[in-house]
Amino acid sequence: MGHTDLTSLLEEEVSFLRIKVRIHCKRCGERFVLRGRMEQGQIQTGFKRCICDNCEFIIEVMEKHA
Nearest to Zn ion of 27, 64 (CB atom) = 27
Burial grade of 20 (CB within 10 A; 0-12, 13-18, 19 or more): middle
- Sheet arrangement for strand 57-65: 42-44, 31-39, 17-25, 57-65
Smallest gap from residue 58 Cβ to Zn ion (A): 11
Smallest gap from residue 63 Cβ to Zn ion (A): 23
| Footprint on this chain of Zn ion (rule: CB under 5 A) | 25, 27-28, 30, 50, 52, 54
Nearest to Zn ion of 16, 32 (CB atom) = 32
